[in-house]
Amino acid sequence: MSAEHEVAILGVGMHPWGKWGRNFVEYGIVAAQQALGDAGLSWDDIEFVAGADTIRNGYPGHIAGATFSQALGWKGNRVASCYAACASGAQALNIARAQILAGFCDVALVIGADTTPKGFFAPVGGDRPDDPDWLRFRLLGATNPTYFGLYARRRMEAYGATADDFARVRAKNSRHGATNPNARYPKEFSEADVLASPVVADPLTLLEICATSDGAAAIVLTSMDFARKHTTDPVRVAAVSTITPTYPQTVLELPGFATDASVGLPVPERPFRDAIAHAAYEEAGLGPEDLDLAEVYDLSSALELDWYENIGLCAEGEAERMLRDGDTEIGGRIPVNPSGGLACFGEAIPAQAIAQVCELTWQIRGQAAGRQVEGARVGLTVNQGLFGHGSSVIVRR
Amino acid sequence: MAIKTQLPAIEGWFTMDPDRPALLGSQCERCAAIFFPRETSFCRNPSCQSREFTEIELSRTGTLWSFTDNRYQPPAPYISSDPFVPYTIAAVELAAEQMVVLGQVEPGVELADLHAGMTVELVLGPLYEDDEHEYLVWRWRPVADQHGAEASTRTVEEVSE
């Protein structure tokens, strides 16, 4: 994509991830104020707020965009709220970007925060037999870790991955996140620790499955012209991919009972997860060879390996080799999840895709003390939201 | 003790044939696309606009694509046994339809008994019960004779007539 379609990340902020047991609005305000401070701006300067909604602790009347605007002090700014499960943050970012590129505003605040209950994510309550997310629990007892377990076992059966490989991913991410001040689990684990943890969904252990966390992340997004008045070399958003799958969807996805049947139909050029990153690369005019780092959605240790292939870091079936060679460790060829990833954070759904972009921004500015990827200039985030919301953001200097 | 009446845990997703149960899909009358769970309002093929569907039975056997288990009690609306008993879940590839379908694996089958590529067949089993009824759901079970299984696989052409 041409530079005229770029916007600047002028400020980023996060409330530390954890299980704090407070209202999500509190976390969001902390992140917003930190992002405003980082940008050298005040709430008065914000013309547009894009909020990524929480459904766990939210309800109509508590919708993110207006809720955060009210908490910061209502002043009649334009506002939008959106929900796309784990991809909500990228959607909010994209909404703000479009407002800026359309010329409706110069300065926007993108914000997401969540408060989560303990344990498995469960569908919203009530008797809802028309909702596939409800039905997969009712008829199959298929939790989110069930799908992660299926993907993990598939790697073992198809590519010869081992439980040791998956443990190695978790151990790597624990080293990355060990000194991250925003991580919920800043603790180093060895492969042996990971393997000794109780199995939740064979072959994955408790330490290899993403927890649910409280947390918040915010970004001050501005036009390039505005940013250049405040800084000489702003970090830029070069692409935001928010695509759906293409029919027939041939890869099993949460919360489905089945893939689409593809008999007699042309199969899409790329499977969904490959297509998510591909759309971002196309928009940015970049490729995987241009990346210095990536933040991928490691809902499980094994899923991180799938992403290596999906975002083009290696060919199908070669992710384990990359990992064993240390390519994705900080100091390696292409560090993945230098933040520590979901393994060290747990998932705060509406904040997570925004947090990925915050990490890239700190890395590209050289401000990721203790986990810095030297010379980082271009990074990619990737993620997907339930029911087919792709999410990938490319950030560059 | 009176024998409980058997009912499907969900209407219209599978046949109740005790010997040869099958999942019920729908097939678009215009483009022949197959859907499970059934699609009956709009064809999801983007190059088709049809609203006419025929009910079809899906292949009763397939090959194991992947599998896992659940060691901890899932939240509602899953109706769990008391005490909770872990269960295995399989993802099964149906050759004729070219799709992967999930299902619990019949109890008693160990993870060590499973490997990708093996042939499994559809059976019915109890998901939960109340005082008068036993609610059945589909399950996957490895076929005893891994070589003779293909004979029971019906093709799409056969089932869609």
CB-based contact B45 A247, cutoff 8 Å: yes
CB-based contact A142 B89, cutoff 8 Å: yes
Among candidates B68, B76, B102 on the partner chain, residue whose Cβ is nearest the Cβ of A153: B68
Q: Is A266 within 8 Å of chain B by CB? A: no
pLDDT of residue A4: 79
Interface test with A, best of B48, B66, B101 (most A CBs within 10 A): B66
Ordered DSSP codes for A344-396:
HH-B-HHHHHHHHHHHHHHHHHT--TTS--TT--EEEEEEEETTTEEEEEEEE
pLDDT of residue A56: 65
pLDDT of residue B42: 96
Contacts of A201 in chain B (CB under 8 A): 68-71
B140 CB neighbour count, 10 Å cutoff:
25
pLDDT, one tens digit per residue, over A222-278 is 999 999 999 999 999 999 999 999 999 999 999 999 999 999 999 999 999 999 999
Among candidates B68, B97, B117 on the partner chain, residue whose Cβ is nearest the Cβ of A202: B68
pLDDT of residue B146: 73
CB-based contact A154 B65, cutoff 8 Å: yes
pLDDT of residue B141: 98
Cβ A42 vs Cβ A239: under 8 Å: no
Contacts of A199 in chain B (CB under 8 A): 71
Among candidates A122, A136, A204 on the partner chain, residue whose Cβ is nearest the Cβ of B76: A122
In a domain, B99, yes or no: yes
CB-based contact B68 A198, cutoff 8 Å: no
Which residues are paired to B55 by β-bridges? B26
Lay out the sheet containing A214-223: strands in order across. A78-82, A48-52, A107-114, A214-223, A7-18, A235-241, A389-396, A378-385, A293-296
Q: CA angle A268-A269-A272, nearest 5°? A: 65
CA distance A198 to chain B (A): 9
In a domain, B70, yes or no: yes
Total domains, chain B: 1
CB-based contact A141 B104, cutoff 8 Å: yes
Those of residues 66-125 in B touching chain A at CB distance below 8 A are: 66-72, 74-80, 87, 89, 91, 94, 96-104, 111, 115-117
In a domain, B66, yes or no: yes
pLDDT of residue A2: 59
> Which residues of chain B have a pLDDT value below 50?
149-161
Instruction: Give the domain range for residue B129.
Output: 59-145
Looking at residue B140, its amino acid is W
Ordered DSSP codes for A313-350:
SS-TT-HHHHHHTTTTSTTSSS-B-TT-HHHHH-B-HH
Full-model pTM: 0.94
CA distance A91 to chain B (A): 24
CB-based contact A137 B46, cutoff 8 Å: no
In a domain, B85, yes or no: yes
Q: Is B7 within 8 Å of chain A by CB? A: no
Reported as type and span, the H/E element at residue B152 is: none
CB-based contact B66 A129, cutoff 8 Å: no
Interface test with A, best of B68, B70, B135 (most A CBs within 10 A): B68
CB-based contact B115 A157, cutoff 8 Å: yes
Alpha-carbon gap, residue A182 to A152, rounded angstroms: 28
In a domain, B151, yes or no: no
pLDDT of residue B147: 62
Q: Is A104 within 8 Å of chain B by CB? A: no
In a domain, B104, yes or no: yes
Residue that has been written with the tokens 């918040």 in this structure:
A216
Residue A388 makes CB contacts below 8 A (sequence gap 6+) with A244, A245, A249, A253, A272
In a domain, B12, yes or no: no
Per-residue tens of pLDDT for chain A, all 397 residues:
557 799 999 999 999 999 999 999 999 999 999 999 999 999 999 999 999 998 865 554 467 899 999 999 999 999 999 999 999 999 999 999 999 999 999 999 999 999 887 777 777 778 888 888 899 999 999 999 999 999 999 999 999 999 999 999 999 999 999 999 999 999 999 999 999 999 999 999 999 999 999 999 999 999 999 999 999 999 999 999 999 999 999 999 999 999 999 999 999 999 999 999 999 999 999 999 999 999 999 999 999 999 999 999 999 999 999 999 999 999 999 999 999 999 999 999 999 999 999 999 999 999 999 999 999 999 999 999 988 999 999 999 9
Among candidates B36, B45, B104 on the partner chain, residue whose Cβ is nearest the Cβ of A258: B36
DSSP alpha helix (H) spans, chain B: 156-159
pLDDT of residue A59: 54
Reported as type and span, the H/E element at residue B77 is: none
CB-based contact A119 B104, cutoff 8 Å: no
In a domain, B136, yes or no: yes
